[in-house]
Amino acid sequence: MSKKAEQALIEWKPINDRIIYARFFLKFLKFSILQVYAPTNETNEEDKDNFYEQLQAIVDSIHKHDVLIVMGDLNAKVGEDNEGCESIMGKHGLGVRNDNGERLVDFCNLNNLVITGTIFPHRQIHKQTWVSPDGRTKNQIDHVMVSRQHRTSVQDTRAMRGADIYSDHQLVRTKLKIKLKRKQQPKVTRRKSDTTKLQQTTIRSKFKIELKNRFDVLQDYEDVEESVEKKWQHFENAYKETAQKVLGTKRRARNHGSARNHGI
């Protein structure tokens, strides 16, 4: 991911060996992506059913107002005939629809998704996403689907033949007109101890005694196997807790305003 995308990442989760999920902040919405690897067209019906049942369960759990993208190697040929499913795909697919293609079209219809690789006119070589080892068979089986209500955000989808990715699949690129937003970090209020109190002899003496007592407790755990970072954390907490208990928190100086605000 780019640095900007990394800063917008809310969460990511590997679902299983075929599905991974990630969610991002947008300027006004949130953006959920499912990267998938579907069974091949020759796989038995039960495995195909299980895959789409798992995928549907994940889609059902995603926030309804999120921009949803499902993408990856679907091993599905949806073809160029879009009769009866014009709202799901365009006329610029490739080849003839197979069983996996039928499943994908049904899945998109159920979830209001558009198969973006079929809606932009491109040369055949820019539609082909997979080439057989002998170079004779070329198909469009990798797809990017987006929520139908966000179809206008998609500017293009095509195969990038020049990308060297050491695979019999071509890199598929989709251009989206969206604006990522940095994830909001929780505000941390830092407390500063009132160290000025250490100038008082009685307070300074009390601080030393309290700190020594805490260190004596820590020495009882010297034989416990812990990392250096963990041991340092114990010492750091001893100082912080002692300071908070004996010294308290430093008060902020009040701003009484400028001379102009007082009419001087």
- Between CA 32 and CA 25 the distance in angstroms is 9
Q: What is the mean pLDDT of the chain?
A: 86
Q: Are 179 and 27 in contact (CB under 8 A)?
A: yes
Residue ranges of domains in the chain:
3-176, 195-246
pLDDT in tens, 9-48: 999 999 999 999 999 998 888 989 999 999 999 999 999 9
Q: Which CATH class is domain 3-176?
A: alpha beta
- Between CA 88 and CA 48 the distance in angstroms is 21
- Between CA 74 and CA 172 the distance in angstroms is 13
What number is the average pLDDT over the span 181-208?
76
Cα separations in angstroms, 226 against 153, 215, 223, 232, 236: 52, 16, 9, 10, 15
Highest mean pLDDT among 44-53, 171-180, 185-194, 205-214: 44-53
pLDDT in tens, 197-222: 888 888 888 888 888 887 777 676 66
Torsion angle (degrees, nearest 10) of CA 159, 37, 141, 102: -140
pTM reported for the whole predicted model:
0.68
- Between CA 128 and CA 93 the distance in angstroms is 9
